Amino acid sequence: MADAAIEIRGLTKAFGANRVLRGIDMALARGEITVLMGANGAGKSTLVKVICGVHPADGGEIFLNGAPFAPRNPIEAIRAGVVTVHQNINDGVIPDLDVASNLLLDSLAEPGAGFFLKGREIRARAREVAASMGLEVDVRRPVRELQLADRQLVAIARAMARKPELLILDEPTSSLSAAEAERLFALLERLRAQGVAILYISHRTSDIRRLADRIYAMRDGAIVGHFAEKPLDYEAAVTAMLGQGLEEIRLDNRPPGAPVLELEGLVLAPGARPIDLSVHQDEVLAVTGLVGAGKTRLASVLYGLEAPLSGTMRLGGAPYRPTSPRAAIDAGVFLCAKDRGSNGVLHDHPLDRNMSVPFLERFSRLSFVRARAEARAARDIIGQLGIVCQSEKDDIATLSGGNQQKVMVGRWLGQPSRVLILDEPFQGVDIKARRDIGAKIRETAGGRATIVMAAEMDEVLEIADRIVVLSEHSLAGDHRNESLDLKQVLAQVAGQAGAPEAGAAGNSGAAP
């Protein structure tokens, strides 16, 4: 490719006997957004880490602007103009530093930058970077105090400040609202017009259709499809990525059982309308809405992490007001949290311990963990969810992000509960893994109430018996997932439709 910023020829990489990259051939053109699709464990992250200097290649060649390129570390790659925003947000920011220091960290570390820059000057320069990104945040705040979406935007803005020749983005919209994603898309389109080569790793259909100039599909460490002819054939790319086509999902909507969790007059935020809602046994209820609509806040209230401003909750007909996650777990209310990096994964621990940790007393006798029972339960979950690993004793850090997500979901599916809450359970997983997880959630839903928080409408439609829409921490809609008026649902998600009328069939959670 004559206008290629990066050319990759025959790239290989192995970790012991595990061949992760098998002769990768790829060209990334200036002024194009190239989408890389691949199932979890296909080798995408390893490929990115080789390009940006984290791992050396075992074989093959990389050329940057026609010259051999083999960075020995990420600093060399950055100085050459290859900048990466990783899926793990904390790889791109330093949480204990303020936003201004994060945005300018790389330029401040350059030789000749000076040792005595005034804080006022740093903040002024940081505000310029933030404004160019459309990032509205106080640059004096520590990054650890920001919401997940704002931390991700800071990481992306920091990458933009480096003026990259090749920008690599790994699932950049997974934690962004629609408005925040639009700001990112506008910026990427501006960079594309400036001639920057962009490698965009994503599973989101909406992102790919909006941005892609070409698509590479990756499977088992190899490129198995290259799609550049317009219009791009997304379905063919998915088939190449998975090695098979996807069957249409047909939900067998079961009639709801008795109410399990009942909310009455629950107020989540100042100015929000009180929420009246019932969730029933055997029912999978999807709660959807934009980022910031109140989904995670509702999950936190149900799990005892926060208290509502007012209102009451009943569990099995009895008053329910948990004061801590332990109290919620003891009552049979489980939460698979949204941000697995800070709220779920136990780093430097094996898979079986990651799955059993909230329930160690169930695997213990006389204060000793029954290792065989713990390992057996983990193996069952690994098999049921198709987690790609060598054994249940693998360190969780060795797994791809999507397989780590399966471990987190499996942790809570592996034990009986009265109410199971899953906050964005499909975040960072490919379409096949998403359907594996969704199928397991529905397969095990009998005997409990299941609540799935999800912003992506494709995910909602594939899993829910019933769909509740939140907007500005208030109930905006309640629908059975049958003969659904999708335009109405989307209008409610966008805040363009009023709250359900009192006494509407869906509002109480009753079956129509």
Q: Are strands 59-64 and 4-15 parallel, antiparallel or unpaired?
A: antiparallel
The residue that leads in pLDDT, 85 or 69, is 69
Whether the predicted pLDDT of 34 surpasses 50: yes
Q: Whole-model pTM? A: 0.62
Give residue 434's pLDDT.
Answer: 83
Q: Which amino acid is it at 108?
A: L
Give residue 245's pLDDT.
Answer: 62
Residue range 90-195, CATH number? 3.40.50.300
| pLDDT (tens digit per residue) in 250-290 | 677 778 899 999 999 999 999 999 999 999 999 999 999 87
- Distance, CA of 160 to CA of 83 (rounded, Å): 8
Nearest to 64 by CA among 165, 213, 188: 165
Highest mean pLDDT among 319-333, 351-365, 374-388: 319-333
Fold: same for 90-195 and 260-493: yes
- Distance, CA of 207 to CA of 182 (rounded, Å): 10
Q: Which amino acid is it at 95?
A: P
Task: Give the confidence band of 115 by pLDDT, cuts at 50, 70, 90.
Answer: very low
Nearest to 329 by CA among 418, 406, 241: 418
Whether the predicted pLDDT of 91 surpasses 70: no
The domain ranges of the chain are: 90-195, 204-246, 260-493
- Distance, CA of 129 to CA of 208 (rounded, Å): 26
Give residue 358's pLDDT.
Answer: 74
- 3-class secondary structure per residue, 405-463: HHHHHHHHHCCCCCEEEEECCCCCCCHHHHHHHHHHHHHCCCCCEEEEECCCHHHHHHH
Alpha-carbon distances of 70 from 213, 255, 375, rounded to whole Å = 26, 59, 41
Q: Which amino acid is it at 471?
A: S
Radius of gyration of the chain (CA): 24
Alpha-carbon distances of 171 from 45, 86, 208, 333, 507, rounded to whole Å = 11, 8, 11, 30, 35
Nearest to 468 by CA among 450, 447, 453, 483: 453
Whether the predicted pLDDT of 506 surpasses 90: no
Give residue 253's pLDDT.
Answer: 76
Alpha-carbon distances of 395 from 88, 176, 354, 360, rounded to whole Å = 17, 29, 9, 18
Give residue 487's pLDDT.
Answer: 85
State the average pLDDT over residues 360-382.
Answer: 79
Count the Cβ atoms, other than its own, within 10 Å of residue 350. 19
Q: Which CATH number fits domain 260-493: 3.40.50.300, 3.50.50.60, 3.40.1390.30, 3.40.50.2020?
A: 3.40.50.300
